[in-house]
Amino acid sequence: MMVKKSVQLVICLLSLLTVELCSAANVDEACTGNTDCTVANSECSSGTCKCVGTTHYKSSATVCTPRGAFGGVCVTSIGDSTCLHSLKCTSNTCQCTTPTSEFFDTTDNTCKAKGGFGGVCVTSIGDSTCLYSLKCTSNTCQCTTPANQFFDTSDNTCKAKITLEATCTTGPTDQCLDVNAECKADTNNANKCLCKTTHYKDSNDACVDKIALEATCTPGSTDQCKDTSAECKTDTDTANKCLCKTTHYKDSNDACAAKGGFGGVCVTATGDSTCLYSLKCTTDTCQCATPVSQFFDSTAKTCKPKIALNMECTIETDKPCADPMAVCTQHGSGPNKCMCNSDSYPSSDKCVARKLHNINCMENGHVNECVENAECKKVNNEFKCQCKNGAEENGKCNGVTVITPNFLLTIVCLIVTIVYKIQK
């Protein structure tokens, strides 16, 4: 009886073992639950044993291999599924899609573009997050020593910054060693590191702020004053200051404004200092002190006494003649003299307007006493200016020939005679 029960127990144990063995499943085999999948790191997915997809891949039916992390091992022949985080399997190594221009950010396990010069990088990861061998400092891609280097975009390299007045290349804005210098053309049109317009080169060969108007300066540098129309010179207290040039004056806006030349604009309220050449500012116009008796000599840049009639003069543009009806013109083959203009004639050392038609004149008077095309003739016991065989309009003789009735009759008779002969 005991033997029979022992046999039954063995049969039951074998049955259980058979059921257990029959339910075991490898990768890609059918299953009903995770317990059916006997391969380590596999799971039952939709009735089939699969490697845990987020972390492993199938190496064989009985092996699930961990997927490679960034820089880890993968299997190129199988593909990118052997890498974690959507990395690419290249040459059996898990990498970003474009390793030369991307880096792997471990903070969120993604590939990101490397930063260019001045671009964003990740300091905690390192310089590999920058392009062109740049350094990642404070999450910004920079040259190794920013104070002494600049980034040359022409070849994407960091180079030593350029000293003041040395040759440079237009483009990079920070290539000059002096922070207040910039690459621009000098007086010879050569590109050099020169002080910006707001700065000047001092005795220490450094670019410093230009000096405000009336502030202390040091003689020597010609462009140290902030106002371009100012210069460093001694003031009334023998102190060197940035003061307006002699051609300018300080206006109400504390700026140097150009002084007016002869006939130019000035500021009466400010005074004669707003005019050039010691001219006087009268009603906001630069003039000679006594305009009635003086003229401005544009060659000598000074006011001179006006020139009397028949006296030598130089140029007419300055209107040097004292008589308002006189002009500076050549007298025959001699020198220029102040002579009456064509609308006047000399009388008692002054110019008098020529007389119109039918105005009294002097017998044997000046040849130009009457207007053009008129002469002084006796009319009813008086001498008057009369047009010379011409018409008169508003007192002037325009020189148009007058056709008398007898002359007109003669012309008509001549025409009739010619027509009669032609018809015969």
Number of domains the chain is built from: 1
- Structure tokens that stand for 65 in this block: 């291999």
* pLDDT for the residue 23: 60
Predicted pLDDT of residue 414: 60
- pLDDT score, position 403: 43
* In a domain? residue 36: yes
208 lies in some domain: no
Structure confidence at residue 15 (pLDDT): 40
pLDDT reported for residue 424:
52
**What's the pLDDT at 410?**
47
Tokens 């017998």 sit on residue: 363
Note whether 294 and 262 are within 8 A (CB): no
CB burial readout 70-107, b (16+ within 10 A) else e: bebebbeeeeeebbbbebbbeeebbbbeeeeebbbbee
pLDDT in tens, the chain (424 residues): 444 444 444 343 444 333 344 468 999 999 999 999 999 999 999 999 999 988 999 999 999 999 999 999 999 999 999 999 999 999 999 999 999 999 999 989 999 999 999 999 999 999 999 999 999 999 999 999 999 999 998 899 999 999 999 999 987 778 999 999 999 999 999 999 999 999 999 989 999 999 999 999 998 877 899 999 999 999 988 899 999 999 999 999 999 999 999 999 999 999 999 999 999 999 999 999 999 999 999 999 999 999 999 999 988 889 999 999 999 998 778 899 999 999 999 998 999 999 999 999 999 999 999 999 999 999 999 999 999 877 888 888 985 544 444 444 445 446 645 545 565 5
- Residue 422: what pLDDT? 62
Q: Max alpha carbon distance in the chain (Å)?
A: 194
Q: Which residues pair with 113 in a beta bridge?
A: 102
Q: Using an 8 Å Cβ cutoff, are 88 and 66 in contact?
A: no
* Domain-located, residue 33: yes
Flag whether 289 is in a domain.
no
Give domain status of residue 48, yes or no.
yes
Domain contains 62: yes
**Domain residue limits at 50:** 27-66
Q: What is the pTM of this model?
A: 0.59
Within a domain: 34? yes
- Looking at the domain assignment, is residue 55 inside a domain? yes
